[in-house]
Amino acid sequence: MSQQRHGSTPGSTGAVPAFPDLPEATIARLPEYLRALHYLSESGSDTISSEGLATAAGVNSAKLRKDLSHLGSYGTRGVGYDVALLIDQIEYILGLDQRRAVCLVGVGNLGHALAGYDGFASRGFRIVALFDADPARIGEKINGLTVRHIDELGRVAAEESLAIGVIATPASAAQAVADDLVAAGVTSILNFAPCVLTVPANVDVRKVDLAIELQILSFHEHRKASLTALPGGRSAAGNQEAVGS
Question: Which span sits near its own copies by CB under 8 A: 41-49, 61-69, 130-138, 158-166?
Answer: 158-166
Per DSSP, helices labelled H in the chain are 24-42, 50-57, 61-70, 83-94, 109-115, 153-160, 171-183, 210-227, 240-244
Going from the C-alpha of 81 to that of each of 64, 71, 84, 135, the distances in angstroms are 12, 13, 9, 53
Residue 108 is assigned to a ligand binding site: yes
Of 44 and 244, which CB lies nearer to its own copies in the complex structure?
244
Let me know: does 115 contact 143? Beta carbons within 8 Å. Answer: yes
Q: Is 176 in the site for its own copies (CB under 8 A)?
A: no
Whose CA is closest to 168, among 131, 141, 198? 131
Asked if 212 touches its own copies (CB under 8 A), the answer is: yes
Judged by CB under 8 A, the chain residues 5 through 44 that form the site for its own copies are: 18-19, 21-22, 24, 27-28, 30-32, 34-36
Of the two residues 146 and 226, which places its CB atom closer to its own copies in the complex? 226
If the CB atoms of residues 38 and 149 are measured against its own copies, the closer one turns out to be 38
Told to check if 125 binds its own copies by CB under 8 A, we report: yes
Distance separating alpha carbons of residues 23 and 215, to the nearest angstrom: 26
Sequence ranges of the binding site for NAD(+): 106-111
Sequence ranges of the binding site: 106-111
